[in-house]
Amino acid sequence: MDLGFTTAVYVVAAILFILSLGGLSGQESAKRAVWYGIVGMGLAVLATVIGPGAGLWQLTAILIVIGGLIGYQLASKVEMTQMPELVAGMHALVGLAAVFVGFNAHFELANVLTMDDSVKKMLEGFAALLAKKSGAEINILRVEASLGIWIGAVTFTGSVIAYGKLSGKVTSAATKLPGGHLLNARQRYHHWPALAGIFQAARYCRWLF
């Protein structure tokens, strides 16, 4: 499956997810909406598994089975009143996965950029795709990876707090830190130097892979 077709499948999956979320707002359309979500997720997983850069089939199968068993156990035990907690927990895992994907793409890119052209020709999978990218495409990938890490981290931490509040493990009262607005502003300001630091640090992290 080439990259263009894989991207088209992702677009179809995204549309199905949107239809699924919209249909869940009504009882009559909820059953159809669930199937929209199931088909959309199936297409997304299939495109990822057999798309460009695919590999490690045995590990992929093991992880799918483990995730499926965990999801089945949770879904079979959760009560309807606990659905918001379940959704918050799943969002936390999605955010954490985005962080891992972003760091993996960044470190793999830093590793590929240090290779000679003769070595790049022998690469396979995701690394081979990175070796073929132009300078502009590499910069776009860096921005995408950094945004994925940042948004995923915010999603993970926010969803963990939401789960704790919904389950009663964290107080639902609003917590305000002294100078909270200033802290938020400084966090956004320091994001860009941290982004530059990640780019520079990646070249020293080749031992991770």
Within a domain: residue 183? yes
- Statement to judge: residues 1 and 103 lie in one domain: no
* Whether residue 174 sits in one domain with residue 85: yes
Shared domain for 127 and 87, answered yes or no, is yes
User: Residue 111: how many CB atoms within 10 A of its CB?
Assistant: 19
Same domain for 100 and 161, yes or no, is: yes
Based on the fold, state whether residues 111 and 190 are members of the same structural domain. Answer: yes
Task: Assess if residue 63 is contained within a domain.
Answer: no
Structural domains counted in the chain: 2
Query: Average pLDDT per run of 10 along the chain, which is 209 residues long?
Result: 68 80 72 84 82 72 85 76 75 82 82 81 76 80 80 85 80 71 74 66 46
d(C-alpha 78, C-alpha 74), whole Å: 6
* Same-domain check for residues 127 and 193: yes
Query: Are both 174 and 107 inside the same structural domain?
Result: yes
**Tokens in use for 96?**
């954490």
In a domain, 68, yes or no: no
d(CA 21, CA 32): 11
C-beta of residue 136 within 8 angstroms of C-beta of residue 73: no
Q: Is the pTM of this model over 0.85?
A: no
Within a domain: 168 = yes
Quick check: is 31 in a domain? yes
Task: List the domain range (segments joined by +) for residue 98.
Answer: 80-208
pLDDT reported for residue 205: 46
